[in-house]
A and B are shown apart, each in its own frame.
Chain A
């Protein structure tokens, strides 16, 4: 127990120091994106890693968070935190609804239902011009806090909070239940566990956290266009979970940071940048099946 508090103190220390170690506004911006992606990967890992549900629609919940909060602020003049709260509820509720309908679908069917949901969400953003501005996009969105460093502290603080909540959750009886469902839903049911409700709960929670991450995106970029939530983004988020190490708490954190920073480091390679990225992704999956997190695990 004390070890966890040491880790927490260490994490807070690193996060506090980071924006002062990298002083360029470019790298500070990348830090914000890292924190946002850590949130997304943590949420997705809860669903994929701990309950074994293949969610290919994470970008949709990210988008719902971004659009709902922005529209509430811009059109209805809500304050950021209230709008963010509403956006999280909306994303979580939609996640719950999708899960309630999808829990009876197994394996790749759930994957496809969530993928379909992501495509539909993207299409609604494009076509519902009167509310979302469609392809024209929303411009001049202000960040919830004054500057990039403050924004980083807010998002990273929330990421730590979410990390510890989820960490406690997966190490609680609830976590045991979720794992039992992942391993064998039928045996779990024979022990009186209602798999459907718990799976939907995890899915909804994951969607809500993704929505929360989405609230910070528009203010950071200043611009909101549907293309940012193309379904390809869902695959990038899943790659973060797998590359980092699925089913571990620290894995998705590592994966999110590595896959956010890697393409930036590769900028010097110009046209070859994404080729190297693709190759690296394939090689990590092939040769590090447990993800990067498995490198740090000592045997026994």
Chain B
């Protein structure tokens, strides 16, 4: 392989890996937007809580109490973070989204979730302190080399888990009654209500699923991030960008946009400079809004009815 090709392959790989991490964070955001037309600003902090849950589940509980080997303990911690995310989703729905939805409000939930975000971030600061934790995944220690190309076990795991969760989410939406009902609510809340679907319950369910995904994303990001109470905040702005580039509430678009942003980021680092990542991503976003205001993949609402 020539130098330039090897370099391009390596950076593409780096980008895809990074993109998968972004997709995991962005999926929950897009899911909530899809059914609720709402942005959960505390989503980033759910990711952080997930990362801390995974850290303590793996290093304090699974290995010390249950006596699991490292690899099993880390996999266990992903499940624990998923559960913690679901719990947070339940709480924020009960406390913020459900009461405000009854008033048919657009802006206030956003501000309320900003408040929740400040609260969560600082509660974690009080609990865990600001000094970064060293969360080592046993998979991150394995460097796999194929020729001159290298990647870690963690990146394989991240790509596998993202693919699996996207697959599961798709199957859920397509083939289960709940999933179909969810899509119905997303399309037309009132009609769905008339058809005997309880939109409140389904919206709650969506928020729980989205938050559980955020928690799981935290577990996957934990060994990559600088794990402090501010960890989630460092990826959330990019996650917002991905949700928009993908077309609000469009899952397929979000996945493609996430991976695309990851790759663009890797090549920006290579050819323009790492300080320009956000600039490039957001200029792209504005350009996107000019050219295709509906996002990468145009919505075909009519087809789904």
Nearest Cβ distance between residue B224 and chain A, in whole angstroms? 22
User: CA of A273 to CA of B290 in the docked complex: distance in angstroms?
Assistant: 42
Interface CB pairs A-B, < 8 A, 22? A54-B107, A105-B289, A107-B37, A108-B33, A109-B244, A109-B248, A115-B240, A116-B241, A119-B278, A119-B282, A127-B276, A231-B237, A242-B111, A271-B122, A274-B118, A275-B123, A275-B126, A278-B116, A278-B117, A279-B115, A282-B95, A286-B96
Q: Which of A247-300 contact B (CB under 8 A)?
A: 271-275, 277-283, 285-286, 289
Across the interface, B275 reaches (CB within 8 A) one of A127, A243, A272, A279, namely A127
Task: Given A108-B39, A113-B286, check contact A286 B293 (CB 8 Å).
Answer: no
Q: Say yes or no: A123 contacts B278, CB within 8 Å.
A: yes
Contact with A along B115-156 (1 / 0, CB 8 A): 111111111011000000000000000000000000000000
CB pair B118 A281 closer than 8 Å: yes
> Is A33 an interface residue, CB under 8 A from the partner?
no
Cβ-defined contact, B114 with A281, below 8 A: yes
Query: Which residues of B line the A interface, CB within 8 A?
Result: 33, 37, 39, 41, 95-96, 99-100, 103, 105-108, 111-112, 114-123, 125-126, 237, 240-241, 244, 248, 275-276, 278-279, 282-283, 285-286, 289-290, 293
Using a CB–CB cutoff of 8 Å, the interface residues on chain A facing chain B are: 48, 54, 101-102, 104-105, 107-109, 112-113, 115-117, 119-120, 123-124, 126-127, 231, 235, 238-239, 242-243, 246, 271-275, 277-283, 285-286, 289
Name the contact of B105 in the complex, choosing from A243, A277, A281, A289 (C-beta under 8 A).
A289
> Which A-B residue pairs are the 5 nearest by beta carbons?
A278-B118, A278-B119, A282-B115, A281-B115, A123-B279
Please tell me if the beta carbons of A120 and B237 are within 8 angstroms of each other in the complex.
no
Given contacts A102-B289, A108-B39, A285-B108, 20 further A-B contacts (CB under 8 A): A105-B289, A107-B106, A108-B37, A109-B289, A112-B244, A116-B289, A120-B282, A235-B41, A235-B114, A239-B114, A239-B115, A271-B122, A271-B125, A277-B118, A278-B115, A282-B119, A285-B111, A285-B112, A286-B96, A289-B108
Distance in angstroms between the alpha carbons of A72 and B275 in the assembled complex: 26
Q: Name the residue among B100, B112, B121 with the largest chain A CB count within 10 angstroms.
A: B112
Q: Which residues of B contact A107 (CB under 8 A)?
A: 37, 106
The residue on A at minimum CB distance from B233 is A232
B118 touches A127 (CB 8 A): no
Q: Which residues of A contact B283 (CB under 8 A)?
A: 120
Task: Please indicate the chain B residues that have their CB under 8 angstroms from the CB of A120 in the complex.
Answer: 279, 282-283, 286
A271: chain B residues within 8 A (beta carbon): 122, 125-126
CB <8 Å contact, B248 and A289: no
Q: Is B122 a contact partner of A274 (Cβ separation < 8 A)? A: yes
Task: Check B122 against A116 for contact (C-beta < 8 Å).
Answer: no
Are B279 and A275 in contact (CB-based, < 8 A)? no
B289–A112 touching, CB < 8 Å? yes
